Chain A
Amino acid sequence: MLEVRGLVAGYGAVRALGGVDMSVAEGSVTAVLGANGAGKTTLLRTVSGLLRPRSGSVELDGRDLTRAPVEEIVRLGVAHVPQSGGVITELTVRDNLRLGGLWRRDRAGLARRVAEMYELFPPLAERRDRLAATLSGGERQMLALARALTGGPRLLLVDEPSLGLAPKVVASLMAVLRRLCDEDGRTVLLVEQNARSALSVADRAVVLDLGSVVASEPAATLAADDRLRHAYLGF
């Protein structure tokens, strides 16, 4: 579904990605693992259009996204949940949720999907009229994910959802991602530093190190490979 070829990107003099090739199969969970500074976030930002690559290409179902603006990529069914969620703290929970699906210009459909999100994440339903600033870290991550889903994306890009959350909360978030894939047929590209929990739900995993792909394997194979695990994943 998603094809990344020879992607080079960076910030100023820093080259964060040095020619990354990877693909994501439709209906799978693919984890991108690696240490701090490996280029994981840069990869997601380039795919969703927030960052222009210096060279290389990103294709979604054979369609070139490399030069497309963020707003258009969203309309092709790609939702990006940025690091620490990026909920808009000045808006209410409900407004945050609605914002995610507003681009479809389908009021009835949007109301239905927002209601579905309240069912899927009951804590959000209780706090729907509160400002997002009042939510805890776990609830914000929940809201960010729910907001992405109100747009009904086919491809979900999730950046370090486990950051700063309790292990129990992380486990339930990972389970939600797996269900989105198995039950709704969505494709998930998950960036994680927490390799152990990411591998527990991923089908495939790509390991990045200093901007290059050092491994691309089925998740089970990678989890069983002691050498790679010790060298790059820290467990």
Chain B
Amino acid sequence: MVRFVNLTLAGITSGAVFAAVALALVLIWRATRIVNFAQGGMLMFTTFLAWSVIDHGGSYWLALGTALASGLVLGAVLERVVVRPVESKPPLNAVIVTLGLYVLLQAAAGMIWGDTPHSYPPAFTIRGLSVAGERLLLSPFDLFVIGAVAAVMVALTLLFVRTDLGLRLRAAAFAPEIARLQGVRVGRMLTLGWALAALVGSLAGVLVAPSVFVGPAQFDAMLVFGFTAAVIGGLDSPAGAVVGGLLLGCALSYVSGYVSSDLVTFGALAALITVLMVRPNGLFAASAGRRV
């Protein structure tokens, strides 16, 4: 029983990070119908920037701020400069461009910081908390991870649902031409959408860095797991991304704990295939006939 609780707790922690990556992918998919394959590279790059801050003696919080701010800027710049020209083109163009961006970011990071992974400090201790004499697989840092992701989710939800800017963002994502006819500057909304997505991705990068280390190829699995979580939730649904991330995190934790840690990636694939067979549009997809 303790083992089950522990595996669940570990699953929720890693699931929170998957959820953040999934959310970054969903935000961009909703707005531009592009699967951002560069997301893994983008969060790797901003995490490296954060690592540089720490390496030069900066505090954890300054490094986190740097990652988030550079994520915002990187997302906006990439959308404006690289992605904008392919937004109205066939989907394959965007796939190639984002894949190319990923390769470019990875190569650039290798040139700047080298290929050897660096360790990254956690914000708080990673020693598990003790409850009634039992050591749990839940540390203060894990709580921080879950809390940080939850805080960002709540903030984004409030932004989208409660503010006029959020209404503009949603309108631009659902119906760009109609939104323009209402005076929404859709181009700006897309840039902002990419910036927000990259910010969420950057957060995920910094949060996962202590366990995967910081290197050009260290975050590749994050994109795979994040994408799986997003598809499980239905690529269109931010809430689905969160639930998909948590489900995937727990499922992988059980696979790793009860079966074998070598089978984690296989478990992700099995989860993906199962969901696609049972609910091809994901768990949270709106009914197919919604566009009239």
Give the interface of A toward B (CB within 8 A). 48, 50, 69-71, 74-75, 79-80, 82, 86-91, 95, 98-100, 102-103, 133, 147, 151
B185 proximity list for chain A (CB < 8 A): 71
Cβ–Cβ < 8 Å partners of B286 in chain A: 90
Chain A proximity of B7: nearest CB distance (Å): 38
- Taking A50-B180, A82-B178 as known contacts, 8 extra A-B pairs with beta carbons closer than 8 A to each other, sorted by chain A number, are A88-B175, A90-B290, A91-B170, A98-B164, A99-B168, A99-B182, A133-B290, A151-B182
Pair B290/A103 contact, Cβ less than 8 Å: no
In this assembly, does B292 line the interface, its C-beta being within 8 Å of a C-beta of chain A?
Answer: yes
For A87, the chain B residues whose CB sits under 8 A away are 178
Kindly name the residue among B174, B179, B181, B291 whose own CB sees the greatest number of chain A CB atoms within 10 A.
Answer: B181
Residues of A within 8 A of B184 (CB): 71, 99, 102-103
Q: Quick check: is B183 within 8 A (CB to CB) of the other chain?
A: yes
Asked if B55 CB lies within 8 Å of chain A CBs, one says: no
1/0 contact trace for B145-180 toward A, CB 8 Å?
A: 000000000000000000010011011001101111
Do A103 and B182 touch (CB < 8 A)? yes
A151–B182 CA distance with the chains assembled, in angstroms:
8
Query: Could you tell me if B181 and A70 are in contact, using CB atoms closer than 8 angstroms?
Result: yes
Chain A residues positioned under 8 Å from B291 (CB to CB): 89
Contact A151 B183, CB 8 Å, known A82-B178, A133-B292: yes
- Known interface pairs A99-B167, A102-B168. Does A90 touch B174 (Cβ–Cβ under 8 Å)? yes
Residue of B nearest to A135 (CB): B292
Q: A residues within 8 A CB of B179?
A: 88, 99
CA distance A147 to B171 in the complex (A): 13
Going nearest first, the 9 A-B pairs with the smallest beta carbon separation are A103-B183, A74-B183, A70-B180, A86-B178, A90-B174, A99-B182, A88-B175, A80-B181, A88-B174
Whether B292 pairs with A89 at a CB distance below 8 angstroms is yes
A234 to B: closest C-beta gap in Å: 28
Query: Inter-chain contact count A-B, CB under 8 Å?
Result: 69
Per the bound structure, the CA–CA distance linking A102 and B290 in Å amounts to 25
The tally of residues in B whose CB lies under 8 Å from a CB in A reads 21
B183 and A102 within 8 A (CB): yes
B292 touching A100, Cβ below 8 Å: no
The answer to whether B174 touches A82 (Cβ under 8 A) is no
Whether A90 contacts B170 in the complex (CB less than 8 A), given A50-B177, A133-B292, comes out as: yes
Contacts of B181 in A (CB 8 A): 48, 50, 70, 74, 79-80, 82, 86
Give the residues in chain A near B168, CB-CB below 8 Å.
99, 102
Q: Separation in Å of the B181 CB from the closest CB of chain A?
A: 5
How far apart are the CA atoms of A193 and B19 in the complex, in Å?
A: 50
Q: Which residues of B contact A79 (CB under 8 A)?
A: 181
- 13 CB < 8 A contacts A-B: A48-B181, A50-B177, A71-B184, A74-B183, A80-B181, A88-B171, A88-B175, A88-B179, A90-B290, A91-B170, A95-B167, A102-B167, A133-B290
Q: Name the CB-closest residue of A to B164.
A: A102
What's the nearest-Cβ distance from chain B to residue A89, in Å? 6
Residue of A nearest to B292 (CB): A89
**Min distance, Cβ B90 to any Cβ of chain A, angstroms:** 16
Which residues of B, 166-222, contact A by the 8 Å Cβ criterion?
167-168, 170-171, 174-175, 177-186
- B70 shortest CB reach to chain A, Å: 29
Check A91 against B171 for contact (C-beta < 8 Å): yes
| Measured CA separation A56–B24 after assembly (Å) | 44
User: What's the Cα separation between A9 and B47 when bound, in Å?
Assistant: 50
Most buried by A among B177, B180, B185: B180
A85, closest chain B residue (CB): B178
* Pick from A69, A90, A133, A147: contact of B182, CB under 8 Å: A147
Collect the chain B residues with CB atoms within 8 Å of residue A71's CB: 180, 183-186
CB atoms of A88 and B178 under 8 A apart: yes
Residues of A within 8 A of B290 (CB): 89-90, 133
| Docked CA distance A102–B184 (Å) | 8
